[in-house]
Every structure is written in C-alpha cells, then in structure tokens.
Amino acid sequence: MELILRDIVKKFDKKEVLTGASASFASGKIYGLLGRNGAGKTTLFNVLNHDLKADGGQAVLADETGERELRTEDIGYVLSTPTVPAFLTAREFVRFFLEINPRRRPLVLADGRTLPEDTDADVYLGLVGIEEEDRGRLLRDFSHGMKSKVQLLVNILADTPVLLLDEPLTALDVVAAEEMKALLREIRQDKILILSTHIMELALTLCDDITLLTGGKLAALPETDETGRKLSDEEIRERVLETLREA
C-alpha cells in the first residue's frame, strides 16, 4: 500500500504554509519528516487527519486494486502531548478500547510473533513496557512517557494503514525512547509510518527514509549520490542541514 500526496495546499489568511506538497510513502517503512520550526509539519498531519481542511490538492491510498481518497478512519495519530482518560486504569482503558474497536486480524510483529485478535490487554501493555504493577493504576498518575506508550499502543491496536507520529519521543527518557523505537520497528511491516521530528539523530537511527518539508513543499532525501554510492550518515546530515539552512 502507498500513501500519495498530490499538491497539498493549506493557507491561514494570507500565509500559505503548504504550497503544493507532494510525496509518496510506502508501507513497511518508517519515514522521518524533518523541517525547521514553523515549516508546517503539524499542519500537514492535521490536514491528512482531516482536522484541517486543505485548500487544494489530494491525499489517496493506493494498492493493487487502485486508488481511493484517504479517510479519517485510515489514520492513527500519536500526538506529542498524550491524551488518555485520567479516570481509567491502563488495563481498563485498553480493554475498553478493544471492546469498541475489536481487532479484525492478528498483530504480526517483525520478529515473527503473532498476537491473535483475542489477546488480553495485559499482553499488549507488556508489549509497550508497562509493568504489571502499573497496569491497575489510574492513567492520571502515569508519567508523560508512560502515557505516551499507552497512546501509541491504542493507535497500534486500531490497526489503521497510516500512523502519524508528531514528535512522539521528544519528552521521553532514554529508556522509554528506546522502547518506543523498538516497538515502531516491530509494527512497521504492514503500515505507513511517518514520524515528525526535529532531532536529526532520531531520524538517522530510526527512520528508513527522510523527507524534508521546506518552503511548503516535500522532498525525499536521496540515499545515494550521483554515482549510486550510498551516502553515509554524516553526508546525509550535511545535506539535510544545507537544505534547511536555505529554507
């Protein structure tokens, strides 16, 4: 499956934030979306999630059967500030979520493990590193990092083809961030994952491809030079910085 963006435009009064953003994103990869502050990364995500109405352009999902317009139910959206119900425990929240959003297929992980549709909430919470003694605690008492894990988990369980992650690791401690990165690698094989970040090292170590948002447009960063030689991380870093400095 592929997410295709064609000339997405978004204006706020007279300011045009997205000026014809076009790109394609394939399932099975984690894409890093890099841009300077104010470049429009969150605006693009909000347009794709139908929180904002685009002023032009089109977003479609394409597979071997053809194309169709991207719908809200196709999107999982992980916010930088997690929103979870404070009055429920982690276990209650995941069980309630599964009751109203029953899984339609097993969850297949990158290591070959398969979790069937009737997997218990505790198993899923263990998958994101929520310890057994914390699963019965109210979510209001969770740390930011723990709330972020639960937010990511329910978006994974929603089983949407597209998962947008807006600065999801920024406020996490080192251990929590590594656990989240490992989980994203586990579930990427049949999803389109786009991760917005301003942290260069995160994009280089986690993402399979990097897309830059500059001047309201999207541009995929090439992995090789003009001769076909694969670029080193340092060369990629320099190309990113050069492009963003010119923005």
At 77-117, the pLDDT tens digits run 988 888 899 999 999 999 999 998 877 677 777 667 777 77
CA 24 to chain centre: 15
Average pLDDT of the segment spanning 110-130: 82
pLDDT score for 247: 61
Q: Specify the residue for token string 């953003």.
A: 21
Res. 168: pLDDT tops 80:
no
3-class secondary-structure state, position 7: strand
Give the pLDDT band of residue 171 (cuts 50, 70, 90).
low
From the list 238, 161, 224, the residue with the least C-alpha distance to 194 is 161
CATH number, position 191: 3.40.50.300
Phi first, then psi, for residue 15 (nearest 5°) are: -90, 120
**Rounded CA separation 169/149 (Å):** 10
Position 17: which residue type? V
pTM for this predicted structure: 0.86
> Residue 182 has what pLDDT?
81
Give 221 or 24, the one with higher predicted confidence: 24
CB atoms within 10 A of CB 197: 23
Does the pLDDT at position 2 exceed 90? yes
pLDDT at 178: 81
pLDDT over 90 (residue 204): no
**Helix or strand holding residue 95 (H, E):** helix 90-100
Tokens of 35: 């841009």
Write out pLDDT tens, residues 8-48: 999 998 899 999 999 999 999 999 999 888 889 999 999 99
Closest among 46, 57, 68 to 2, alpha carbons compared: 68
Q: Is the Cβ–Cβ distance between 56 and 22 less than 8 Å? A: no
Nearest to 24 by CA among 194, 185, 167, 181: 194
Q: How many CB atoms lie within 10 A of CB 127?
A: 21
Range of the domain at 53: 2-246
pLDDT at 184: 85
pLDDT value at position 32? 93
**Residue predicted with more confidence, 236 or 42:** 42
How many domains does the chain divide into?
A: 1
